[in-house]
């Protein structure tokens, strides 16, 4: 786990061209690593926030891709203080606030963590379903709350930190993956363990895990070695496995092949992308490859009726034909800005970046349409959009903000 944390620090320092560390690079090399300068947008659309609120700081040090969860006109969020909140989507008003996990603070072991290190806290965003909100923590806690009241239904513990949002299936199963490679199938009524799937991890990987998804009686997961695994929801048995991108290279850093972002499930197809530079469409029942494309991402994919959207590690945003992977358009003006998985808000594609900006691109052709800075903190988690078109994003320092659909 220490190596995973250090990798995040390594990547963030290199991505931002940190000026406080002297002598590492020439000024030209530093500039080449810095986020691209933002160009002026001609006739930008108006993007006004409906409301915002602060959930508490401390997330940036953890490198977590925290995101909100939306159910109808309610927003559910967790914070670094171990709390889960339900908010009104239209106003941001608190509907309930539950102290799900107790958090203590120990003395700082590293000088640049000035505020000390928290023991405990909620690390993965909440999962929703069957009238429950399920959240996971850094100490392996899993807590299920009533979605209407915030009252605790049950709690249990898995073997390691929970970095991904738990999956709540229609059949009442709770699927939780822990940071040590294990996946747990829990009974939705009481949290008791039904099955566990155990898989090893490579020596070095990008911090984070993609959330499980389900369909057709199978649970799909992306792994740090560049593979996709399909498990039977009934008993956790392996149904099939497919390698998306082999971990190739001379050292652990070059061999990073994590499938950590959102996968997408169509009628009969599963779409996934690896950090190592490969995207693939698979038959969802067997894992048989349908097509592949040499595009990678440390985030994930967004699926529409005719296309896939993805932001690659270089900061290019792509729209691809979902049937063939052919490029429909590419936007390269956001280079080296460490973009989130794209979200779709009406006629626009929205991505967050490492400097706290949200960018609106036209869905039709990818041209830049609007921009808004939330704060000077990275946006790591995928922005979420409600059925009514309200977009909600969270920064790495816990600033939550909501934007109505641009007119």
Q: Tell me the CA distances in angstroms from 79 to 38, 87, 229, 248, 395, one per residue in order.
A: 31, 13, 30, 37, 11
pLDDT tens digits in sequence order for the chain, 407 residues long:
434 433 443 444 344 334 333 343 455 555 667 999 999 999 999 999 999 999 875 554 455 667 899 999 999 998 878 889 999 999 999 999 998 776 665 544 333 333 344 455 777 789 999 999 999 988 899 999 999 999 999 999 999 889 899 999 988 999 999 988 899 999 999 999 999 999 865 444 444 468 999 999 999 999 888 899 999 999 999 999 999 876 655 555 444 557 888 999 999 999 999 987 789 999 999 999 999 999 989 889 999 999 999 999 999 999 999 999 999 999 999 999 999 999 999 999 999 999 999 999 999 999 999 999 999 999 999 999 999 999 999 998 889 999 999 97
- Of 369, 365, 364, which is closest to residue 403 (Cα–Cα)? 369
DSSP string for 63-132: T-----EEETTEEEEE-TTSEEEEEETTT--EEEEEE-S--EEEPPSSTT-TT-EEES-B-SPPEEETTE
Residues, the chain, total?
407
264-265 vs 127-129, strand pairing mode: unpaired
Residues 6+ away with beta carbon under 8 Å from 93: 87
CATH of domain 67-352: 2.130.10.10
Other CB atoms closer than 10 Å to residue 305's CB: what's the count? 6
173-177 vs 327-331, strand pairing mode: unpaired
Boundaries of CATH 2.130.10.10 in the chain?
Answer: 67-352
Is 5 within 8 Å of 63 (Cβ atoms)? yes
């Amino acid at each position: 786990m220490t190596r995973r944390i250090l990798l995040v620090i390594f990547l963030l320092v290199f991505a931002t061209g940190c000026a406080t560390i002297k002598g590492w690079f020439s000024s030209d090399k530093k500039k080449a690593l810095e986020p691209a300068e933002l160009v002026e947008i001609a006739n930008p659309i108006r993007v006004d926030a409906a409301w915002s609120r602060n959930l508490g700081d401390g997330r940036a040090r953890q490198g977590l891709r925290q995101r909100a969860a939306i159910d109808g006109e309610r927003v559910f969020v967790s914070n670094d203080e171990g709390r889960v909140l339900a908010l009104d989507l239209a106003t941001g008003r608190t509907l309930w606030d539950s102290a799900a996990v107790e958090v203590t603070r120990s003395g700082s072991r590293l000088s640049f963590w000035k505020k000390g290190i928290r023991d405990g806290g909620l690390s993965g965003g909440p999962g929703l379903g069957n009238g429950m909100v399920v959240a996971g923590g850094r100490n392996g806690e899993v807590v299920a709350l009533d979605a209407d009241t915030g009252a605790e239904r049950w709690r249990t513990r898995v073997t390691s930190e929970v970095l991904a949002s738990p999956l709540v299936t229609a059949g009442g199963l709770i699927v939780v993956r822990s940071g040590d490679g294990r996946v747990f199938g829990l009974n939705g009524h009481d949290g008791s363990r039904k099955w566990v799937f155990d898989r090893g991890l490579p020596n070095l990987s990008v911090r984070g895990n993609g959330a499980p998804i389900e369909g057709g009686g199978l649970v799909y997961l992306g792994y740090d070695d560049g593979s996709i695994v399909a498990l039977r929801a009934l008993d956790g048995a392996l149904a099939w496995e497919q390698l998306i991108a082999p971990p190739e290279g001379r050292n652990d850093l070059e061999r990073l092949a994590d499938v950590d972002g959102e996968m997408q499930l169509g009628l009969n197809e599963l779409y996934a992308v690896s950090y190592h530079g490969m995207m693939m469409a698979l038959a969802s029942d067997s894992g048989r490859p349908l097509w592949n494309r040499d595009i990678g991402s440390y985030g994930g994919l967004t699926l529409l009726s005719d296309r896939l959207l993805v932001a690659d590690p270089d900061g290019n945003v792509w729209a691809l034909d979902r049937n063939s992977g052919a490029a429909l358009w590419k936007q390269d003006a956001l280079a080296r800005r460490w973009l989130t998985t794209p979200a779709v808000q009406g006629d626009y594609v929205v991505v967050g970046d490492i400097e706290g900006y949200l960018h609106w691109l036209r869905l039709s052709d990818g041209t830049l349409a609007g921009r808004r800075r939330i704060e000077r903190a990275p946006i790591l988690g995928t922005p979420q959009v409600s059925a009514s078109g309200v977009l909600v994003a969270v920064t790495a320092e816990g600033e939550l903000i909501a934007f109505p659909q641009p007119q």
